Structure 1
Amino acid sequence: MSEVRKIATRESYANALVELGKEHDDLVVLDADLAAATKTCVFKKAFPQRHIDCGIAEANMTGIAAGMSTCGYVPFISTFAMFAAGRSYEQVRNSICYPHLNVKIGATHAGISVGEDGATHQCNEDLALMRVIPNMTVISPSDNIEARAAVKAAYELDGPVYLRFGRLATPIINDSVDYQFEIGKGVILRDGKDITIIATGLCVVEALEAANKLEVYGINARVINIHTIKPIDEDLIVKAAEETGKIITVEEHSVIGGLGGAVAEVLVEKCPIKMLRIGINDVFGESGPADLLIKKYGLDAQGIYEKIKKFVD
């Protein structure tokens, strides 16, 4: 695992769009006056005729994308998660998912790590909102490699996809030669027999570091990266529960309805065991530097380690 190379997944998203744009003339990108922040400005530079700035009108942008998808295009909607999942919720539900249209949603600036933009822009509810809609696939990549692979997989999948990206640069952890991305399939990053930590997004690297700390304490932790929140890898989750006896989920999202909720739903039906959900505990965020907020809300490696140690003890 590299601890030096860091890149924000919002940048990975834009770079992947450019690569796909070279291969597929039907790919178009729609933005809502945020191309500099979502980084889709790089796609605009490469393909100015296939980039549409819809202005600060996210619901309208969603409707435009739905219409374009019926004309043979594969539109990628790009804006902050708060606006993609929140402001445009009705249009996503009724105009994209209900008719099962081939529209992709690139939601950047998700979670508490939006930092100084504060509670109004820190969307900690989007995974819950999106995964409850029928026909929607929900993906939350952990690093640059996974994000780029997820964008490609989303393009190849016929139907609506919600892609969650972050503002904060994160370490590259999926740089092994045998890494493969498959929608709906989790990845075991570290084996262990005492507990299983299931993480998503930027929390995956923190979970790995927490597992190293737990090893010193005498707890052997398995770490699983669940990049696809829906459809979730039920078989992998149940297998881990049966083999380790305890499950901990870690996410930069509310503990209600996101990864923790999805895993809990699987376990309560198929393998009820002790479980701990680590995330944002039913509160709004606040303004501050991203790294300090992650630490304050206990989503850094040390915070995760302390919560798991208490849970196991």
Structure 2
Amino acid sequence: MSHITNRQAICDTLMEAANHDRSIVVTCSDSRGSASLAPFAQAYPEQFIELGIAEQNLVSVSAGLASCGKKVFAASPASFLSTRSYEQVKVDVAYSGTNVTLIGISGGISYGALGMTHHSLQDIAAMACLPDMRVYLPSDRFQTACLIQELLKDEKPAYVRVSRSVTEDVYGEAMDFTLNRAGVLAEGKDAVIITCGELVPYGVKAQKELKKQGYEVGLLDMYCLKPIDEDAVRQAARQADVVITVEEHSLFGGLGSMVAQIVAADSQTKVINIALPDGHLISGNNHEIFHHYGLDDEGMVAAIKKARSEG
């Protein structure tokens, strides 16, 4: 397993780019340590702005900088960035079309032991419904680096959610990356798993285990939640008997809802959504919570075997 988190991959990528691009600016809300951006702040102090614990100001200042020609990356815990500053994200970034990439760190249940005040289980739905706001959940350090490199090339708003923990490598340095195209990691007729973010490595394990047991299972890394790769979803659903979506998000308005809409308009393939339930969740680390609610590889294997047995 790699010891490089997706957060660190973002910092490394931005530092390399900032070495020759002075228009790159990073802003933080007292989160440079949590975001692994302290090295950037130390190396490029004139391109780093600390706003303190003031997420609304973070977003508005970032939008103002972008309107002056800066390429701004604003980092803050996803649980607060997607709620406390939502009005500013809506008006100053999305409606205004400013060149701000919002980095939601420690997304989902990364702060599991701190309870639901620190969870971000609504952020995909909230951000995706804003006009022209793109939403990304990269799976590993290589995909994260490729994504940031691509976002540095355009001037559109984006929301990138990354986890707090180290994620197992899914890809390699020579990975084939295309912006807004899902990663097709496997194809299969019995079922297809569609997942994103730090759950993708679990999907890889589940697909391999099911293959050992004689199941032909596809796997899509849907890191691009908006715009979602509709062609990849339709093609996978046409090939498979059942679609299983797995997400570190609420049951409502996330990956499962998006996939179900696409599949329902195109085929009769059954869609099963594995997500975090409505209501209070157990406390614990991310692996414990994933296992309890069936979001890990064991849960995916069990869900597919059950769906196949029920026909």
TM-score by length of 1: 0.95
Corresponding residue of 1:102:
99
How big is each residue's C-alpha offset from its partner over 1:128-158, in whole Å with a ceiling of 9 and x where there is no partner? 1111111101110000001111111112122
Structure 1 runs of 4+ with >6 Å offset: none
Matched-pair identity in %: 32
SS of equivalent residue, structure 1 residue 37: coil
Q: Does 1:285 align with 2:311?
A: no
- Number of corresponding residues: 309
Corresponding residue of 1:52:
49
Corresponding residue of 1:34:
31
Q: How far did 1:115 drift?
A: 2.5
SS of equivalent residue, structure 2 residue 207: helix
Corresponding residue of 2:155:
158
Contact kept? 2:138, 2:161, Cα under 8 Å: yes
Contact kept? 1:190, 1:224, Cα under 8 Å: yes
Corresponding residue of 1:202:
198
Q: Aligned to 2:17, which of 11, 15, 20?
A: 20
SS of equivalent residue, structure 2 residue 265: helix
Q: 2: CA distance between counterparts of 1:155 and 1:258? A: 26
Q: Aligned to 1:7, which of 4, 8, 27?
A: 4
Q: 2: CA distance between counterparts of 1:210 and 1:163? A: 25
Letter in 2 for 1:305: V
Contact kept? 1:44, 1:51, Cα under 8 Å: yes
Q: Does 1:168 align with 2:165?
A: yes
Q: Does 1:302 align with 2:305?
A: no
Contact kept? 1:7, 1:172, Cα under 8 Å: no
Q: Does 1:66 align with 2:63?
A: yes
Return closer, same or farther for 1:24/1:250 CA change in 2, 3 Å cut-off: same
Q: 1: CA distance between counterparts of 2:179 and 2:84? A: 26
Corresponding residue of 2:111:
114
Q: Aligned to 1:275, which of 266, 271, 279?
A: 271
Gaps of 5+ in 2: none
More displaced, 210-219 or 93-102? Answer: 210-219
Q: How far did 1:31 drift?
A: 0.3
Corresponding residue of 2:210:
214
CA RMSD of aligned residues (A): 1.4
Q: How far did 1:58 drift?
A: 0.4
Q: Aligned to 2:136, which of 134, 139, 158?
A: 139
Corresponding residue of 1:226:
222
How big is each residue's C-alpha offset from its partner over 1:184-211, in whole Å with a ceiling of 9 and x where there is no partner? 1011112222111111001111011111
Q: Aligned to 2:262, which of 252, 262, 266?
A: 266
Contact kept? 1:81, 1:109, Cα under 8 Å: yes
SS of equivalent residue, structure 2 residue 49: strand
Letter in 2 for 1:45: Q
Return closer, same or farther for 1:25/1:176 CA change in 2, 3 Å cut-off: closer
Q: 1: CA distance between counterparts of 2:303 and 2:231? A: 26
Q: Does 1:91 align with 2:121?
A: no
Contact kept? 2:203, 2:300, Cα under 8 Å: yes
